[in-house]
Structure 1
C-alpha cells in the first residue's frame, strides 16, 4: 500500500447520495458549469459529474492530493466569489458543520443552491435542521442510509444574525490552560491524555532541531518549548490545514511564556510521504485510525518517516495505545527501543540508534 493509500479509503455513502437529486431531476447542474465543493472527496461519481468549472476545497492534505490526482481543481474560493451551486459534505462535529453551512451560503450566488449530504448515523437530521435554521426552506431525499438536503434561499430567507454567529464558530478559541483550538480538530476541546503522558516523559536534554509529527493544534510542540531549554528550533507537521492557525498561536504563546525565541515553522504536510530535512529529535502522537476503523499502518508510516529524517544520533519519542504493535517496526529502524511509561492504556516509547 502506498503512503497516500493509508488515507484513500473509499468515500462513504454520503458522497454517492450527494448526487441523487440530479439523478431524480430534482436539481439541475448549473448552466455555466461552475460549482464549489466544500470538504470534497474524490470518487467515481464525482469524476463523472464534475465539470472544468468546479472548484474542490479540502483541508486534509491526503484527501486534497487524491482529488488532484483525479484531475479535479483543488483550492479555495476568493473572498466574495459566488457559485450557482455549492456542495457540502458536512462533518460530524456540529460547530464545525454549522460554520461550514454559513460559509457555503456566503459563496452561493443569488438564486443558487446549497446541497449537502450526511450519513444518518453521523447526524443527518440535525444537519438538515441546522441548514433550515440559517437558510430557510430545505428539501431532502434519502438514499444509501444517508440524507441529502438542499436549499435555494433568497436573501430575505437567510438569518443574517445566525449566519454571522455560525461563521465565528470556526475561529480559533481558547480551550484549557490557555491553548487555542477550533472545533473538529483531534481532541479539539481538551488536552489529549496520550499527548499529556508523552509531554510528562520528555527528556529535559532534548536539543537542537526537533519535529512534531501530526502536531494538531500544537500542544505537544508547546510542551517541548516549555520543558526542553536546549531546543533551538521546532517544526510542526500537520495534514489538517485548519490546525495550522491555532498551532501558530500556541507556539507564539509558548515562546513568550518561556522568555526565549526559537526558530518555529508550521507545515501543512502529509508526513507519511517523508520529511524535507533532518532532526536531532522527533516527537509524535501518531494517528492510528481513519474514521472509526483502526489503521495502525498510519502509525507505522509515521515511524518510518521519522527514522529516515533523524540524524544518526537522533531519538524518537512516541506515544500510542498499548495494543498497537509498533515494537517490530521500531526495532527494524532503531537499535535501542525502550518503553518509558505505561498509563491509562497508553505507552510512551523512546527509540535511538537509527539503523543505516
Structure 2
C-alpha cells in the first residue's frame, strides 16, 4: 500500500514557511499524524519527531529518515518544549479536537502550531475549532485545502477538556471498548456483523484476523469456533490494535493471542488454517482504494495452508472476484445483504502463490 501518493494537505501545511509567513525554527519540530512526501524533502535540515499510528505511513516516514512513534505515550505527558508543532488532523471531529489539544499542550509558550486539512475533510469546522483553542489565528487556502496556525499558550482549560474527547470508552452496550477515530468506532459495522452471522463453527487451527479494528470479528470467531487454537490479530492502526488487546483479553486464558501492528498489504509473516477479514477499501485520505482489499486477499492466499479457508466480507460492488479466482482453488458466495457479500475461499494444495517464509 503506497503511503507516498500526492498529498495536497501536506503541501498546504508547509505553505506558511515556503511563502515566508513563518520562519522554520532552529530547534526540534513535532509532527502529529505525520505523513511522508516530497514537500518534506525541501525542509532546512529538520530535526523532526513524528507521531503516526498508521503502519504504512510510519514505515514511509522511517524510510525517509525520520524518527517515528506510533503513539504519543513515548513523548511523555504534555512535555511542552517544541517551538513548532505540525498537525495533519483526522476527519473525525472529536479525534481532531483532541489532537489540536495535544499540540497545544506540547508547544512551548510563544511557539507555533500549524495544521492543514482538505476542504472536503472538514477544513472549515477544523479551523473554527482551532480558533476556539488558540484565539487569534492566521490562515490560507490552496490545493483545495486550508492551512491555519496560531501561537501558544492558547486556552489551556479548553485544551484539557478536549484532550479527553477521544479517550477509550464502552460501546455496543458495554461489550467492547473503543474510541473516536477508529473504524466504526461506536457501533458494530454491518459488514462485519454479516460475516460474523455466517461464520461456520468448524473453523479451527491457527487463525488470523486481517484488519481487525477494535476486535469485533476476532471476538465473534473465538466465541463461535472452539477449534481455534491461536489467533494472530493484524491491524495497521496502532490505536485500534490497542483496543483489540483490551477487547480480546477475556479469551487469553484458552487461546494463544498475538497482536501485530502490521501492513497486511505487504504480506504476512506466518502460516494459517483460517483467516477472516473485512478489508479496508479506502486510504486514510478517504480516496477509494479497492487495490488494498485485493492485496489483503493475495496476502491471505499466500499465508494459508493447503485446505485453509478465507472468510471475507466486502461491499457488493468491489471487484474482488478476479483475484479470488486467481488465488484460490474454490470460491463460493455465501450470502448477500444490504449491499455486502460474504465469500468463502479455500486454498487448494500445490505450489504456494507468492509464499513467504515465516513461523509455522
TM-score (normalised: structure 1): 0.91
| CA–CA separation in structure 2 for the residues paired with 1:251 and 1:135 | 39
| CA–CA separation in structure 1 for the residues paired with 2:245 and 2:277 | 17
1:339 corresponds, among 316, 333, 338, to 333
Question: Post-superposition shift, 1:50?
Answer: 5.5
Q: Residues 108 and 206 from structure 1, CA distance in 2 versus in 1: closer, same or farther, beyond 3 angstroms?
A: same
1:352 corresponds, among 301, 322, 346, to 346
| CA–CA separation in structure 2 for the residues paired with 1:20 and 1:227 | 53
Task: Give 2:262's aligned residue.
Answer: 269
SS at match of 1:191: coil
Question: Post-superposition shift, 1:81?
Answer: 5.6
1:15 corresponds, among 5, 10, 15, to 10
Equivalent pair of 2:313/2:341 in contact (CA under 8 Å): yes
| CA–CA separation in structure 2 for the residues paired with 1:303 and 1:129 | 41
Equivalent pair of 1:8/1:62 in contact (CA under 8 Å): no
Task: Give 1:24's aligned residue.
Answer: 19
Question: Post-superposition shift, 1:136?
Answer: 2.6
Task: Give 1:165's aligned residue.
Answer: 161
The runs of 5 or more residues in structure 2 that have no matched partner are 352-360
SS at match of 2:182: coil
Post-superposition Cα deviations, 1:104-144, rounded to whole Å, max 9, x if no partner, equal: 11211122111111122222221122122223322222222
**Alignment of structure 1 residues 311-322 onto 2, 5 Å:** 311-322=305-316
Question: Post-superposition shift, 1:179?
Answer: 1.5
**Alignment of structure 1 residues 190-269 onto 2, 5 Å:** 190-253=187-250, 255=251, 261-269=254-262
SS at match of 2:275: strand
Question: Post-superposition shift, 1:337?
Answer: 0.9
The runs of 5 or more residues in structure 1 that have no matched partner are none
SS at match of 1:217: coil
TM-score (normalised: structure 2): 0.90
Task: Give 2:51's aligned residue.
Answer: 57
**Alignment of structure 1 residues 35-54 onto 2, 5 Å:** 35-49=29-43, 51-54=45-48
Equivalent pair of 1:133/1:159 in contact (CA under 8 Å): no
| CA–CA separation in structure 1 for the residues paired with 2:331 and 2:299 | 17
Post-superposition Cα deviations, 1:46-92, rounded to whole Å, max 9, x if no partner, equal: 11116341112211111111122223332255212631000001111
Q: Residues 60 and 66 from structure 1, CA distance in 2 versus in 1: closer, same or farther, beyond 3 angstroms?
A: same
| CA–CA separation in structure 2 for the residues paired with 1:119 and 1:341 | 37
Post-superposition Cα deviations, 1:165-221, rounded to whole Å, max 9, x if no partner, equal: 211122211121422111111111211111000001111011121100010111100
Equivalent pair of 1:333/1:354 in contact (CA under 8 Å): no
Task: Give 1:82's aligned residue.
Answer: 81
| CA–CA separation in structure 1 for the residues paired with 2:188 and 2:255 | 23
Post-superposition Cα deviations, 1:281-304, rounded to whole Å, max 9, x if no partner, equal: 000001122234332211111111
| CA–CA separation in structure 1 for the residues paired with 2:287 and 2:301 | 26
| CA–CA separation in structure 2 for the residues paired with 1:179 and 1:242 | 14
- The farther-off stretch of 41-50 and 76-85 is 76-85
Q: What do you get for the CA RMSD once the two structures are aligned?
A: 1.7
| CA–CA separation in structure 2 for the residues paired with 1:40 and 1:288 | 21
Question: Post-superposition shift, 1:237?
Answer: 0.2
SS at match of 1:236: strand
- The farther-off stretch of 47-56 and 338-347 is 47-56
SS at match of 1:111: strand
User: Runs (4+) of structure 1 moved beyond 4 Å?
Assistant: none
1:307 corresponds, among 292, 296, 301, to 301
Corresponding residue pairs, total: 343
| CA–CA separation in structure 1 for the residues paired with 2:171 and 2:245 | 15
| CA–CA separation in structure 2 for the residues paired with 1:241 and 1:50 | 30
Pair 1:150-2:149 in alignment: yes
| CA–CA separation in structure 1 for the residues paired with 2:88 and 2:343 | 37
